[in-house]
Amino acid sequence: MTALRTSTVAVVGTGTMGQGIAQVALVAGHRVLLYDTAPGRAAQAAGAIGSRLDRLVEKGRISADARDAARARLSPATALAELADAALVIEAILEQLPAKQELFTALEDIVTADCLLATNTSSLSVTAVAGRLRHPGRCVGLHFFNPAPLLPLVEVISGFATDEVAATTAYDTAAAWGKQPVRCADTPGFIVNRIARPFYAEALRVYEERVADPATIDAVLREGAGFKMGPFELTDLIGQDVNEAVTHSVWQAFFQDPKFTPSLAQRRLVESGLHGRKAGRGWFDYSEGAHRPEPRTAEPCPVPASVGLHGKLPGPAAVLRELIEEAGIEVTGDRTTGVAEGFIRLPGGARLALTNGCPATTPAQENCIRFDLSLDYRAATRIALAAPAAVSEEDLAEAVGLFQALGKQVSVIEDVPGMIVARTVAMIIDFAVDAAARGVATPEDIDTAMRLGVNYPGGPMEWVERLGARWVWHLLDSMHHQNAGGRYVPSWALRRRADLEELVL
């Protein structure tokens, strides 16, 4: 079995996602049948798809002849039995396991023996969806991302009983439709919704710990780490109810593993009906004329004339020496000095060092101001700083002034282990390394999924190469000792990778 190129494709469920999937199949040249249990809904969806095809013609993306041919291939179905000749049926109905099982059980008595059955579920087990079928091997997950016509990623999920031929056909079909498919084992959240959980969870945790406000957290992750949107504005766009439901589903599926624990703050937001943009308000107010809060940004401070560099700054932070010298600031000291942790010595005597998972207020490292991780310090336009409790205003001003001289805005946040970017990126990396080690997906597919599915500025398997597994492991291990409960325990896969890295060095 190869890609289904001209066969009939049926889509069950005609909401936004169902319509989007139908449009993708239609433009790819298939005859498409639309079915919905609500009377008249399929015909309305066909009309809406036709209107979108008109807009594609207006934008010059398809010809008028192609639009007319596509419209002729699109038909609403009034009964499930009309899907009998479909070679592929994709369901995009309610995210409820009994409803999906009931649908596929009914379809099995209607479609041919070689018809491929696909679920677009984003969080339910593909194995469970197929569990009541007589022939579960024909059932596969085809998880499109919204809006389906625009976003290229499709996760192809093999359930426990999915036949390899069925998975390969689904993969090849998605590729023939112009999508970028990735293969994935049936695991809670699949690739994207599993590995992306810390992006939201750590931001919410930082907020709950009163380290910074949502606008500042968003700005630090967006301007300091290169993420296209911050987690608070992104969950407002997704819908707080939708995002929280996926988080809760993944947490339950992993037997309430503390690494996936949902946020009480988000739960209260959902209970209040503040679901984000669609409700007019979530973390931010979207009503007409509403004021958008600004991130916490330090006032301009004097620029130090010189600083000392002792040891080697880890990972991407190593470029700071070049940036400081390019800013006209003298750098003294020996970069090869054998110190355990590289740091910058400020004129007043305070140290300035990359966060290592410990709080800045640590007796063993008195007067050490911490700066947050950036995946690219040259491109970053904002840096977060955390100061120990006893730091002087003069020392903190020197740290702020130094980064401002490098063209960065500075957000001074409350002292917390791992700060904002470092803890978020480290957790995402740990989830990705663990998923790869467990055979959820290949490292290449993981990076592809995270770049295309949630628009990350890079893939987490690429990040661990740049940062070093040892640095990531030590940061999480330090955070674990600061926060008992298991949330930050590094995975065994990350520890093994860190140990191998140390052996090579």
User: Per the residue annotation, which of 193, 249, 263, 411 is the catalytic one?
Assistant: 193
CA distance 299 to 306: 21
Determine whether 273 is exposed, middle or buried from the number of CB atoms within 10 Å of its CB (0-12, 13-18, 19+).
Answer: exposed
Question: Which CB contacts under 8 angstroms, 24+ apart, belong to 104-113?
Answer: 104/129, 104/130, 104/132, 104/133, 104/139, 105/132, 105/133, 106/80, 107/80, 107/83, 108/133, 108/134, 108/135, 110/80, 110/81, 110/83, 110/84, 111/83, 111/84, 111/86, 112/84, 112/85, 112/87
User: Per the residue annotation, which of 30, 143, 275, 310 is the catalytic one?
Assistant: 143
User: Per the residue annotation, which of 108, 120, 125, 155 is the catalytic one?
Assistant: 155
* 481 catalytic per annotation: no
User: Per the residue annotation, which of 122, 158, 263, 374 is the catalytic one?
Assistant: 122
CA distance 323 to 378: 7
Which residue shows structure tokens 């015909």? Answer: 43
- At a CB cut-off of 8 Å and minimum separation 6, what does 37 contact? none
- At a CB cut-off of 8 Å and minimum separation 6, what does 9 contact? 22, 25, 30, 31, 32, 33, 86, 87, 88, 89, 90
* 63 catalytic per annotation: no
* 143 catalytic per annotation: yes
Question: For residue 370, what is the enclosing H or E element?
Answer: strand 368-371
* 248 catalytic per annotation: no
Contact at 8 Å (CB) between 342 and 460? Answer: no
Could you give the 3-state DSSP secondary structure of residue 46? helix
For the annotated catalytic residues, the residue numbers are 122, 143, 155, 193
